[in-house]
Every structure is written in C-alpha cells, then in structure tokens.
Chain A
Amino acid sequence: MANLLALIQNETLKVWKKKRFAVVVLILLILIPIFVYANLKIAQNSADKFHADWRSELQSRITDNTNALSSDRIPEEWKQWRKALVQQLQYYLDHDINPESPNAVTFTRRFMDNAVSLFVPLMVLAIASDLVSSERSSGTIKMLLTRPVRRWRILFAKLAALTLYVSLIMFTTVLLCYLISGLVFGYKGWGEPVFVGFQVQGADVDTSGVHAVTQGVYLLMQAGLIWFSAMVVAIIALMVSVLVRSTAASFVTMMATIIAGTILSNMASSWQSAKYLFNVNLELSSYLRGTPPPIEGMTLGFSLAILGIWAVAALIVSFTVFTKQDILN
C-alpha cells in the first residue's frame, strides 16, 4: 500500500548512493576531452592540407570515391555505400555547406553518432546490469520482498528509476560534450543547416525527401533516437539482471551481446534474417545521416519496431519471472 513514488525514490536513491552515476560522469569527463583533442588535430590537419579550402577537400573526396567505384577490387556493398556518399557530398557542395566546420554542436553530434553503438550502452549497463542482481547477490532482496509491497510494484519502481537514469545519462553526455568541446571550438553552430531525409534504396540515395533542419533540431532528433535505443538496451539488461544472480555475469552477457551486434553489422549484409536481432538495430541515428543500413531492407521504422518488440518481450519476461520466482538463496 506504499506510495509508488516513494518506491521510485528508494530505487533512485540506491543507484545514486552506490555512486554509479558519479562513475558515468567521471568517465565522460575523462573521455570527452580526449575526443575533443583528437577532433582538433583532425581539423588542423585538413586545414593544413587544403589551406583552409573545404570546398576542394569535399571535391577531392567526391573524386576519390568516384574513382573507387570503377575499381574491380572493391566489393559490391562498399560500392553502394560509396555511391550514396558521393551523392550526399555533392549535395553539400552544391548548396555551399561545409559539413566539416568544427563547432561545439557539430562535435556533440559526431560524438553521439559514434557513441550510440558501444559507449552509450556501456554507460547504461553500468546502472542497469545490477539493478536486480545486486539485490540478490547481497541478500537484500529478502528484506525488499518481505515488505508489504507487491513484487510488480518493486520492479516497476526499478524500471522507473532506470528510465530516469538513462534520460539523465543522455542529457549529461550531450551537455558535457557541448560544454567541453565549446571551450575549444566555440559554442556556436545551433542554427547551421543539416540535411536529413536521405532515403537509401539499394544503390541510390533518394534525395527527394531531403530537407534542411538546423543543427539544434538535428541534435534533438538524434538524442531522441539514441535515447530510444539506450532504453531498449536498459530494458533488456534489466531482464538479464532479473534472470542472472551475479552482477558480473549479467554485465558481461549484455556487453558481449552489444559487441556481437556491432560485429554482425559489419559482416552480416548477406545474412538477411540477422536484421531481426535487436543488437544490429541499435544505431538508429545513422538513418538520419543517410548512411546505408548494415542489412538491406532495414529502415528507421523497421528498426524502431524491432527494438520495440524486443523491449516489450523483455518486459514481459522480467515481470513474469520477478513476480513468480522463488527466492531460494
């Protein structure tokens, strides 16, 4: 009969007191400056090479990729990707947009794009992996479940706390990226146009739906998609945490699954049914960029649906097991 809000407060407090979020922030504070420095070096390098003429750099990338297309040694799926890339670059050139102009917003956008497949899941797992298994391995679950509160309410409170922390991680990552990179690149760039709506269909990039949005809006869309894939990872990790007693086992299982996903994405183009696995669908933000998907036939809608189905299934398993399971040790 306890208030659900009080239960959520309990779960939130426990994660906080365990200093899990503090660790995530610490990792961000160490890693972001490293990437900012790397990005700065890249920008300096290309500036040196092309004497600050980004148009000629863009033109040379188009030429390189077009040349590569005529080579026989390049496999077919690479050619598809290159064709799409050339069309995209041409679009930037025609519309006089420097896609490489470094500023805090661009850096954040890039960082998030690269973080979605491994880094964001890792941070989410730091919190999600031991939500239930830590209570079991420490024995506190016996205290928790013998209080007059229905078991589903306890798991629901944990899920709510998890949602809260996933959102907080996303927000903190974007904020820290922006603040730290801004020190070097300047805090401008919100209004810069970015093109979205590229439709990759086989070898062609369908540019009929392409339109410009400001980089701020783009970042928001991107963060939303990454949040969604992070939530799916979190929910599946919660399920593993319910099923596995040891926190280490739960973390390793999830991390292996995520890594397997990124490896599969790189080599599964001919294994069609792999697209129904959740772990090859996590890179939602690549659809915004117009990058061809790892497996033909995958679209944003398809990936969202697959992830949604996996999440719902994981929730059903979690709640069923958690409410029925005998606590034997």
Chain B
Amino acid sequence: MEARTKEIILSVQGLKKTIGRKPIIHQVSFDVYAGEIFGFLGPNGSGKTTTIRMLVDLIKPSAGKIVICGDNVGTHPEKALSHIGCIVENPEMYGYMTGWENLEHFARMQAGITIDRITEVVEIVGLDQRIHDKVKTYSLGMRQRLGIAQALLGRPKLLILDEPTNGLDPKGIKELREFIRKLAESGMSLFISSHLLSEIQLMCDRVAIIAHGEVIAVGEVEELVSQAGTYTIWQVGDTTEVKRMLSGQQDVQLIPDNEHRIDESILSGLHHPIITIMDEDKISEWVSRFVSAGIAIHSVQRVAPSLEELFLKLTEGEKIG
C-alpha cells in the first residue's frame, strides 16, 4: 500500500456518460500515482475508449470529475491538457507532411517547445533516420513512434496510450514494452489501455478493470492475480486410473477439459493433461500415492492464473462483449 502515499497525477471520480439516452459509462473512478504504469483493462465495447476520450477532453462527461495534476479537465482544459501527452486509438498524423513537420506543427500548439526538444524526442523514439520523409510512407510501427514523440514533446507528467500494441509485430511489442518501462523509470506516469490481459500483466504495476461501463476492480496486478486460483497440471502414464483416483477427493478438484481458463498456448504442448486445483503441500502426497500404485509420472506443473481468468472471475455470470 505504499503507493497510497504517492502523489496523485490523475484522479477520476464518478465519471458518467450518456449518449442519446443510452448510458455508456455508468461509474468510473480511479487514481493514477506518480511514476507508475497503470493498466486499463476491458474487452472491446466496455467503455475503455470513451473513458480515455473523456480524460483528454474529446468527450464531455455527463457527470463526474477528472483532475490532472490538480487541474480540472472540465473547467481548465488548457491547463489540464498541458500535463499530458496522448495517443487515442491509432497514431494519426498528417500524411502529406514529413514527420518533422508534424512535430513542428504540434510544437507550435504549446508554449516553450524548442527545436532542441523536437530533436531530443526524435532521438528518444529512434526515428532520426526517417524523420524528414513524408508520414504517408511510414510503417505502422514508425507512426506509433512518431505519435509517442508528439506526445512527449511537452514533457508530460502523464502519458496516455490507447491500445498501444495494436497492429505491432512481436518485436515491435517487445520494444514498446521496454520503452514504456524506461519512460516510467524517468518518473513519468503511464496510462495504458488494453483488451489483451497478458499485455497488462507484463507491463503494468496497477490495473483498473472495466466492464459494461463500470470499473469492477482496481488494484495491484499481483494482488488481483493472487485472488484467482492456481492450477496443477499432471501428465501421467495411466490417465484413466489417475482420474479415477482423484475424483471424489475432498482436497482435490478435478477440472473437466472444457471448463478451465488456461491459455491454449500453454496446454498445446502437453499430452493428455489432467487439470486440477489443489494445495501446493498436497502434491508430494499424491505423487507418492501414484508411484506406489505403479503409475508413471511424466510431469507435474503449477500454472499461474492469467489475468483473463481473474477477469472472468470478476465478471462471473455476466455476458461479455
């Protein structure tokens, strides 16, 4: 809970938005602290983008308050926006101008950004080679970098990235992740939205989970993850016999093949896995029982729950999407 003593960079309180008569955002509240990477997780259509658009004054909230570094976005948008840099959805820039001209364009919109600062951000994102080419010739990865360069121009305290890994190749995603870490180490706060749960798990310190326009959980990623159960996966010589022995036991829960929430990619390498939920200290007990029953044990492994599982646990019973 040491985060609680930190300076609050972004505070969102009781945010609501109704478009037409349809309530899109019911109740969104969270705080982002200085120097942390804050994840904003939810499936498509959960109100992530609408919330982000409200943070950056593209959409006016129907109710609630957004305060960035002490400045209210609703009443002092000019001051509040000067603390942030953002990319909302895709990093769209003017294709008919060069990267450099684009940066100059956005530099003119904020006082105190010098040529040196433009050169600096170009170096930070590593675009020096192509900066004088027209943006329409850029790849998506390069546009992403140019977008980040633009967002960094005003030395923001908070960087908002909406689905930053969308459309990037694995190498690009890895680079972006490292880049985001570096920015956080320099003291900047980052707000990153994603529908990819593994993404948030890999990048973020804390997370807010949103579903149906409502924040259903806010907390440290590790802490929230520990709420979901851990699986124990067995690979044995005689699958049928093991299943027979395990079924009906008090301390072991046997999970049928279609009811677990383990990432397919983890299971794909395993042959006839038996998925169970059991306490760690019960494992050796069961190993000796199987061995004495003459069953060969190929492997036993613990699989940490994914954030996806946690997400499903939190939204249990609700329809998603």
Contacts and interface: CB of A to CB of B under 8 A. Distances in A.
Contacts of B96: 17-19
Interface stretch (A3-11, A164-172, A177-185, A208-216): A3-11
A144 B110 CA distance: 11
Interface residues of A, number: 28
Given A17-B94, A148-B81, A150-B78, A142 B108 contact: no
B108 A7 contact: yes
A1 B71 CA distance: 15
A326 B78 CA distance: 17
B59 A328 contact: yes
Query: How many residues of B sit at the interface, in one of the four size bands?
Result: 20 to 34
Interface in B64-95: 77-82, 84, 86, 88-90, 92-95
A147 interface: yes
A270 interface: no
A269 to B, nearest CB: 45
Q: Is the interface of B mostly helix, strand, loop or mixed?
A: loop
Interface in A132-163: 138-140, 142-150
Contacts of A139: 89-90, 92
Interface string A173-200: 0000000000000000000000000000
Contacts of A13: 101, 105
Interface string A310-329: 00000000000000101110
Contacts of A74: none
B60 interface: yes
Interface string B138-161: 000000000100100010000000
B109 interface: yes
B121 interface: no
A324 B57 CA distance: 10
Contact of A146 (B60, B86, B97): B86
B53 interface: yes
Instruction: Name, among A17, A142, A143, A149, the residue most crowded by chain B CB atoms within 10 Å (CB to CB).
Output: A143
A146 B92 CA distance: 13
A10 B58 contact: no
A143 B81 contact: no
A288 to B, nearest CB: 40
A2 interface: yes
A146 B80 CA distance: 10
A7 to B, nearest CB: 7
Nearest to A145: B58
A2 B110 contact: yes
Contact of B57 (A3, A17, A18, A146): A146
A6 B109 contact: yes
B110 A143 contact: no
A14 interface: yes
A237 B48 CA distance: 34
Nearest to A9: B108
Contact of B79 (A7, A145, A146, A148): A148
B78 A17 contact: no
B121 to A, nearest CB: 15
26 contacts: A1-B110, A1-B111, A2-B109, A2-B110, A6-B108, A6-B109, A10-B105, A14-B94, A14-B97, A17-B94, A17-B101, A140-B92, A142-B88, A143-B92, A143-B147, A146-B84, A147-B81, A148-B81, A148-B109, A148-B154, A149-B78, A149-B109, A150-B78, A326-B59, A327-B53, A327-B58
